[in-house]
Structure 1
Amino acid sequence: MKESFFVEKALNNNVLIASHSQYKEVVLIGKGIAFGKKKGDEISTEAVEKMFLLQDAAEQEQYKQILAHVDETFIEVMNDIMTHIGKSVQAPLNEHIHVALTDHIAFALKRIQQGIQISNPFLIETKTLYAKEYAIAEDVIDIIHQKLGVQLPEGEVAFIALHIHSAVTRKNLSEVNQHSQLIHQIIRVIEDSLKIEIDRESIYYMRLIRHLHFAIDRVKKGEKVEESVRLADILRNEYPMHYSLAWKVIKVMQQSLKVPVYDAEAVYLTMHLQRLTAKEESE
């Protein structure tokens, strides 16, 4: 027999905080789950549609404050959204997404009501880097439109995708954002230096973005890629402009990440830059 949940505090008709012998304090979500319930009442597991832990007291308090400013329908929709995300990623999610994404979407809906539009400068990079999360975020936008009748702008897809990626990888959202901002900055440096505008839909751009993504990950983890001195010499002599730019990009990475970058990264980046400009010049 499953152990029972007991009401600690009802947050609204569909959400309550409960105690459990194994999980301690949990948040339970279910249609009408808290209606008429008082502290100490037992909750049937059949009534629970979603359960998550919010062991951090500050997060639990933040979640309570969010719920105080949204209606019951919104919470039902967020429950559908979280369920869809969980099924789509087929991986455990960092429980913080319940607070962070609920807060983000609630604020986005409020901005729409007030006629405030916020652009997302990292939309293309996010779509390229996190294609799976981006596709799930598009589903989230559709769910909101179908159930609440509000069409969030395309920029919100990228913001939501970052929340999903953060929850799946268990990386702090600020770290994920820093990653996207750094890649965006690097692309600007490359375009300014080569005096080109890169086709954001091209396979060369996608390959460059993914290369930068994995390079940043390697640098942050201190992983060293195999270095070929002979290849480095060839590239330095054959493509001096691209080799120089590769080092310029590496300096940008070092300044942003505050860690050293191995020389071998310049070799592989030079090859990507050469392919990119060769493609641009052929058109």
Structure 2
Amino acid sequence: MTSPMEQHGTYKILRVIGSNFVCSQDSTGQEIILRGLGIGFKKSAGDLLPAARVEKVYALRDPGQCDRLMQLMQDVPSEYLDISTHIIETAERVLGRRLSENVYITLTDHISFAVERLRNGVEYPNQLLWEIKNFYPQEYALGQQALDVIESVLGLRLPEDEAGFMALHIVNAELDGRMADMVPITKLIREVVNYAQAYYGVTFDESSVDYERFVVHLKFLAQRLFQGRYAPDGDTGFQNLIARHYAADYECAQAIGQHIREMFDLNFPSSEQFFLTVHLHRLSVSMGLSTEEE
């Protein structure tokens, strides 16, 4: 079978999605979406497209995702995916990691609804804006940049609440999780931070490296708890040593675990409890709350 990308550097168009987007196939026969300025203008299925005109290839691993993205592109203006792509590529550079491919769909769809709400005068307040700003500062800064990009392309300024919502989409793509989990994940992080601060009787220094590491740990901890995927059990002897040596921090982790079980109806296994103890200890040492040596 001849590869859809020919030897002389062209793609064969399967479907035209819009003036800047077409559907093709890669060398394995997987459907892909190609982006490029005007590549779909006055084109039809079967036409050949020079590879040099392609600016971006969306090779989504899940065929269902590819279908959903193509369906979405038929329902929303193509510049929304351009905006999303710019935001996502900027986020990947800033964060230094690849984001889940599903974010191309979820973020584009969100931008579409956000713009529609603004044009209809419908307000949608973000009840977790404070938590997003404080727990996900890098992602929130990217959300603010996203508002600038949208304004420069569409001439519309979305409210600050939307910077928070877009930050959640980016965090979700980092975790490669379900967007529906992001609100409870953020609430769980808030509960753990508040509980720990009350336990130690302090306000954590949010600018410290140890606090940042603590929140990052909580992001992935919350994701594991909501998905039922837990950290593996470690060495029992080492865990007992931690429980004795970091007794106050271990007591805090135990209390937090019980609080999570009661408030969120989630399992909180001992393996997670010990990892949390280590992070709590690092934080308490950095704030001068513990005299124990690392």
Q: TM-score, normalised by structure 1?
A: 0.74
Cross-structure match for 2:4 = none
- Which amino acid in 2 is paired with 1:49? E
Question: How far did residue 150 of structure 1 move?
Answer: 1.6
The 3 A distance-change label for structure 1 pair 197 and 68 is farther
Cross-structure match for 2:267 = 258
Counterparts of 2:26 and 2:39, CA distance in 1 = 16
The residue matched to 1:121 in structure 2 has which SS? coil
Cross-structure match for 2:185 = 179
Contact between 1:125 and 1:209, CA under 8 Å: does it hold in 2? no
Contact between 2:211 and 2:283, CA under 8 Å: does it hold in 1? no
The 3 A distance-change label for structure 1 pair 79 and 108 is same
Question: How far did residue 231 of structure 1 move?
Answer: 4.3
The residue matched to 1:161 in structure 2 has which SS? helix
Cross-structure match for 2:109 = 103
Cross-structure match for 2:90 = 84
Question: How far did residue 37 of structure 1 move?
Answer: 0.9
Counterparts of 1:33 and 1:114, CA distance in 2 = 32
Alignment gaps of 5+ in structure 1: 237-241, 279-283
The 3 A distance-change label for structure 1 pair 35 and 181 is same
Residue 232 (structure 2) pairs with residue 222 (structure 1): yes
**Percent identity at matched positions?**
25
Counterparts of 1:275 and 1:46, CA distance in 2 = 53
Cross-structure match for 1:17 = 23
Counterparts of 1:272 and 1:105, CA distance in 2 = 37
Counterparts of 2:28 and 2:218, CA distance in 1 = 43
Aligned counterpart for 2:154 among listed residues 127, 131, 148? 148
Contact between 1:216 and 1:253, CA under 8 Å: does it hold in 2? no
The 3 A distance-change label for structure 1 pair 84 and 6 is same
Counterparts of 2:217 and 2:48, CA distance in 1 = 53
Alignment gaps of 5+ in structure 2: 1-6, 290-294
- 1:224-261 CA distance string (max 9 Å, x none): 5844344455x39xxxxx95x75442123345443424
- Which amino acid in 1 is paired with 2:83? V
Moved more, 36-45 or 2-11: 2-11
Residue 35 (structure 2) pairs with residue 29 (structure 1): yes
Query: More relative contact order in 1 or in 2 (CA 8 Å, sep 6+)?
Result: 1
The 3 A distance-change label for structure 1 pair 197 and 35 is farther
Residue 69 (structure 2) pairs with residue 59 (structure 1): no
- Which amino acid in 1 is paired with 2:231? K
Contact between 2:31 and 2:66, CA under 8 Å: does it hold in 1? no
Aligned counterpart for 1:163 among listed residues 166, 169, 186? 169
The residue matched to 1:11 in structure 2 has which SS? strand
The 3 A distance-change label for structure 1 pair 88 and 43 is farther
The 3 A distance-change label for structure 1 pair 223 and 38 is same
RMSD over equivalenced CA pairs, Å: 3.8
Moved more, 151-160 or 204-213: 204-213
The 3 A distance-change label for structure 1 pair 169 and 3 is farther
- Which amino acid in 2 is paired with 1:250? G
Contact between 2:175 and 2:223, CA under 8 Å: does it hold in 1? no
Cross-structure match for 2:140 = 134
The residue matched to 1:221 in structure 2 has which SS? coil
